[in-house]
Structure 1
Amino acid sequence: MKNRITHIGILVLILLACVACGDFLEERSQNMAYVENVSDLDELLIGEAYLSGGLTMDSIDADLISNWASILSVSSVNRVYFPYIHILDDDSEEYVSGGYMGTTEKNYLRMKGERLHTWQADPFYDSEMLEIKDLNWSDYYKRIAALNSIIFQVGELRGGEDDKDLCNRVEGEAYFLRAQCYFWLANLYARPYCKATADTDPCIPLKTSEVVEDRYFARDPMADVYGQMVEDLQHAITSLRGIPQTTKYRTNQAAAFALLSRVYLYMEEYEQAIACADSVLKKDYKLLDLNDYKRGNSAVYVNSPETIFTHGPNIMAIIHAPAIRYTAAIYRTSTFTSSSDLMECFDATDLRRTAFFIQRASPAEGYRCVKTRFDIDEVSDIMAIRLPEVYLNKAEAQALAGMDDQARITIQELRAKRFRAADLNPVTESGEALVNFIRDERRRELCYEGHRWFDLRRYAVNSVYPFTKSIEHVSLEVVNNTQITVRGKYVLKPYPEDIAAYMLPIPSSAIDFNNGMLVNEVRNNREIINE
């Protein structure tokens, strides 16, 4: 074996390698970390690859974080990853709550995510034009660098390691997590995957080597990035075969099959998406029957029979915070709530309305999401993989492949656990109507779990049944300290008319470091429309 170092030394070397990526692929440290055994790599997965939780609460009177810059820019352990995913789409609208303080026209604390919520040209600034540093980009490439090193080191140590299962598990988890990192980066910072143009569409930089490369990075083709996701998940499936999952906070083979079914669905590889979904459905998971749900409990929780894997934070209590308390006074503050467009999608007999949402103080104030109550065992609102998604992936793939009868059976298996038997209507749609029905079911089931924004993007470029829509986000104001009124609205046009607004800009620090090789599409400023 190569020169051995102490366990602490291992951690230091990996940490230095990861910190050096702070400005995106800025790998100035050692080409690789020399490790003593695979158990060291197992610990590094926890510290450098899995996402930590935190910032979760579910109390109407909780003291909540008001400054989005603070939850986006905090470092390492307290980082909130991609909170803006919940405010970009049509499931979200602005919400104002609290007491009356001050005399200004808009006398509540200005929403720190306002420019993200209104799809502005420079979204990473708050309403007072103070920069919100998007550290998620550099952090994810730091994690990818660590995973590249771990994957390489497992290969180096495998021949002399007695615990073959440990080698397989560490390798499989690393491949899974790298694929998940690339999935999120690709779907936030690049166009949606379009099958007809994937070979030429620019995506994000792809880096899989553990060595330092003396070059600048540009956007790699979409087909290459998604091809790497597929390859990584196939590796994960092979490596994790027969490896027991000791905690749902560590991934497993079922999670790899589930994520691969999602990736194949995005790629319009429908037969493969169905096959991967079936591989999950054969395993020991089952749908939670909401007929047995008791009000006040979590509908989504770690030990649920339909939770396959989760890591990372859940911040919906902050996104849907009803108020922010400062000392003895409660200031008006702008947060977010469930849009009327979303709530109108639910039938009155749909058990998810009761399980997933709670009505605010009055019917006019709408509903906030309480799918998970954040008691002890936390489920992420962006990184969790649940069995219902697998059913939805399969049903949509079947419908898009023209397998209408099978798709109706698949989607009805899910719906049977979401309605009382007397309220469960048969699914009679076919063709495009069936696809749209399944997409609506996906919206209802997976709301506020990081899917809707990505789904709207991919629907727009689907080659079988494309779907686009305009999204309107209303802006509120307080008048004379007594009335909340509509100031106007911001409109996101359908994808073909507003392409650049459907992706986030790569941070300027990454563009500068790579000598301009990375290029963002031009985003336009968006003016408020007064009615």
Structure 2
Amino acid sequence: MKKHKYIKSILVIFLLLPFLSCDNYLDIEPKGKQLLESVRDYNLWLDNQSLRQSSIYGLIYFSDVLDMPTIDDLIDNYSEYSYTWAPQLASDPFTSSPIWASAYNSIYYYNAVINQIDDAIEGTQEEKNKLKAEALLGRALVYLDLTNLYGKMYNETTAATDLAVPFVTSIDITDPTPNRSTVEKMYDHIIGDINSAIPYLPADNSQNRFRGSVAAAYALLARTYLYMGKYDLAAQNAQLALDKGPNEILQHTTSSTFKDLKVRPDAIYSRVGGSLYYGSVSPTLDLLRSYNRYDQRLPLHYTTLGDYSFTVRGRTKYSPYGTVASSTAYPNWGIDVAEMRLILAEVAARNNETVIACDHLDLLRKKRFATANYQRFDSNDSEAVLAKIIQERILEFPFCGLRWFDMKRLAAQGKMTTVNRYNGLGNIIATLQPNSDRYTLQIPIQVMMYNPEWEQNP
């Protein structure tokens, strides 16, 4: 039996990390003083609020559906650096690195369970296997985001040489930091961890959607294969997720109420985007105008709709909690049933199965309109159907992190247009071309300073 593990002492070591060997520097600060000894301790560890909020809120600033109508030409903070796709998201090499630090903090939490749960006292081996499986699944979700932020989009011909991020499995800060893995190896790790977890995951997480389940694993595999462009495998796993977990899409009306994400019936795997208490953001006028006038997602999440002409930047805001009768309409930054339906629809469209694609699309869209105002979409043009599905992904998931990754994969397919950023006067202050290097983030300077031998992204 190993000695008790005191996270307090580990915190002190990590705070001193900049003064230690550069090989060990990952820019993370594990927090807490939890004594990890029993299976119950590890179970509570996985319920940590920081893991529930482990999605990368900053993703919304990169996307083409966010506007900053008050921004000026002096770009000087994290949100503005992100919004203008600056090479670096922080200018001070001695501050914590945005995105990277919080993501590797989450990975540290999961690694603590994966590495140490077998030595925990009390509890059965079955319980230990379940907790390790949940940690493997949670870590895979974080690594999928990191791989697609700091590595190029998966390309079968270049993935073996395209660099991504270090695959860190240790919680011992005396271990050398691994070099950057390739995109191919990162996907191998992600898929391997998910498949290793499936036999031990619970069949039902309906009492706590923030925790893992078999359906959550298949749903994450579906998203993973979608990003890889392995569409048949994406559809296969999306259907397994629906077969083995929740398969309900909530009806949106002007009086909709929503259960907490912990028990929301359409959530497969719940996450909150960063701090639970973030405020409203400004959507672009193009996004607002792309909604149908009768789409109930507008009055549910957008304020000051006026006559629905949307002519003034910043007047209409997106409210994550909802605007009417609900304070719990918070979008799921994890995975839900709607995403699985849209993956099935997209794969069908790409396979020229337009009727099947429109059927899947219909299952979602009819839940977003009052019956009297709904018109089904049908077309036998696969490109038109695919465009409609991609548009529906924007309308359904505007501010929960998915849009940036959709932009990146569409850009890699030659299907993204140029995106411009405008200051308050309407002048262009930044431009993102479809072939821009900015679709792949640079490794933070805070990390490169201690790992100078790493190759930096362009």
Tell me the SS of whatever aligns to 2:165: coil
- The amino acid across from 1:305 in the alignment is P
- The amino acid across from 1:311 in the alignment is R
Question: 2:416 matched to which residue of 1?
Answer: 468
Moved more, 448-457 or 246-255: 246-255
Q: Cα distance, 1:182 vs. partner? A: 0.6
**Per-residue displacement from partner, 1:313-340 (whole Å, max 9, x unpaired)?**
46697553xxxxxxxxxxxxxxx51101
Question: 2:156 matched to which residue of 1?
Answer: 195
Counterpart selection for 1:350 from 295, 315, 324: 295
Q: 1:88 and 1:164, CA in 2 relative to 1: closer, same or farther beyond 3 A?
A: same
Q: Cα distance, 1:384 vs. partner? A: 2.8
Question: 1:45 matched to which residue of 2?
Answer: 46
Question: 2:110 matched to which residue of 1?
Answer: 147
Q: In the alignment, is residue 446 of structure 1 matched against residue 382 of structure 2?
A: no
Alpha-carbon separation, structure 2, partners of 1:454 and 1:239: 30
Counterpart selection for 1:83 from 37, 52, 57: 57
- The amino acid across from 1:369 in the alignment is Y
Q: Is the 8 A contact 1:145 1:210 kept in 2?
A: yes
Alpha-carbon separation, structure 2, partners of 1:137 and 1:27: 8
Question: 2:136 matched to which residue of 1?
Answer: 175
Q: Cα distance, 1:491 vs. partner? A: 3.9
Q: 1:16 and 1:144, CA in 2 relative to 1: closer, same or farther beyond 3 A?
A: farther
Question: 2:21 matched to which residue of 1?
Answer: none
Q: In the alignment, is residue 518 of structure 1 matched against residue 433 of structure 2?
A: no
Alpha-carbon separation, structure 1, partners of 2:411 and 2:48: 38
Aligned pairs for 1:288-437 (under 5 A) are 288-290=250-252, 292-294=253-255, 297=257, 302-313=262-273, 318=278, 320=280, 336-359=281-304, 363=310, 364-365=312-313, 366-373=315-322, 383-422=333-372, 423-437=374-388
Q: In the alignment, is residue 234 of structure 1 matched against residue 180 of structure 2?
A: no
Q: Cα distance, 1:35 vs. partner? A: 5.6
Question: 2:248 matched to which residue of 1?
Answer: 286
Structure 2 gaps of 5+ residues are: 19-23
Alpha-carbon separation, structure 1, partners of 2:73 and 2:279: 20
Q: How many residues align?
A: 443
- The amino acid across from 1:421 in the alignment is T
Alpha-carbon separation, structure 1, partners of 2:48 and 2:13: 13
Q: Cα distance, 1:138 vs. partner? A: 2.6
Question: 1:329 matched to which residue of 2?
Answer: none
Q: Is the 8 A contact 2:57 2:401 kept in 1?
A: no
Alpha-carbon separation, structure 2, partners of 1:408 and 1:300: 30
Counterpart selection for 2:428 from 468, 489, 492: 489
Q: Cα distance, 1:449 vs. partner? A: 0.8
Alpha-carbon separation, structure 2, partners of 1:48 and 1:315: 10
- The amino acid across from 1:356 in the alignment is H
Question: 2:79 matched to which residue of 1?
Answer: 113
**Per-residue displacement from partner, 1:152-177 (whole Å, max 9, x unpaired)?**
223455xx865344223311210111
Q: Cα distance, 1:121 vs. partner? A: 3.3
Q: Is the 8 A contact 1:404 1:430 kept in 2?
A: yes
Q: Is the 8 A contact 1:148 1:210 kept in 2?
A: yes
Q: 1:405 and 1:153, CA in 2 relative to 1: closer, same or farther beyond 3 A?
A: same
Alpha-carbon separation, structure 2, partners of 1:259 and 1:217: 25
Q: TM-score w.r.t. structure 2 length? A: 0.83
Counterpart selection for 2:184 from 201, 219, 223: 223
Alpha-carbon separation, structure 2, partners of 1:318 and 1:263: 28
Tell me the SS of whatever aligns to 2:203: coil
Q: Cα distance, 1:454 vs. partner? A: 0.9
**Per-residue displacement from partner, 1:48-80 (whole Å, max 9, x unpaired)?**
971449xxxxxxxxxxxxxxxxxxxxxxxxxxx
Q: Cα distance, 1:42 vs. partner? A: 1.8
Counterpart selection for 2:235 from 274, 287, 290: 274
Q: CA RMSD in A?
A: 3.7
- The amino acid across from 1:287 in the alignment is I
Question: 1:68 matched to which residue of 2?
Answer: none
Counterpart selection for 1:504 from 428, 436, 441: 441
Alpha-carbon separation, structure 2, partners of 1:421 and 1:377: 25
Tell me the SS of whatever aligns to 1:308: strand
Counterpart selection for 1:134 from 97, 117, 123: 97
Q: Cα distance, 1:389 vs. partner? A: 0.9
Structure 1 gaps of 5+ residues are: 54-80, 98-105, 321-335, 477-484, 523-531
Q: Is the 8 A contact 1:94 1:337 kept in 2?
A: yes
Q: TM-score w.r.t. structure 1 length? A: 0.73
Radius of gyration: which is bigger? 1
Alpha-carbon separation, structure 2, partners of 1:436 and 1:471: 18
State the identity as a percent. Answer: 22
Q: Cα distance, 1:131 vs. partner? A: 8.8
**Per-residue displacement from partner, 1:449-493 (whole Å, max 9, x unpaired)?**
11111110011224xxx41111111101xxxxxxxx43x113423
Q: In the alignment, is residue 263 of structure 1 matched against residue 220 of structure 2?
A: no
Q: Is the 8 A contact 2:140 2:193 kept in 1?
A: yes
Alpha-carbon separation, structure 1, partners of 2:259 and 2:422: 29
Q: 1:430 and 1:348, CA in 2 relative to 1: closer, same or farther beyond 3 A?
A: same
Tell me the SS of whatever aligns to 1:95: coil
Tell me the SS of whatever aligns to 1:154: helix
Q: Cα distance, 1:240 vs. partner? A: 0.9
Tell me the SS of whatever aligns to 1:383: coil
**Per-residue displacement from partner, 1:109-143 (whole Å, max 9, x unpaired)?**
98762232112234425xxx999742431332233
Q: Is the 8 A contact 2:42 2:131 kept in 1?
A: yes
- The amino acid across from 1:351 in the alignment is Q
Q: Cα distance, 1:250 vs. partner? A: 2.5
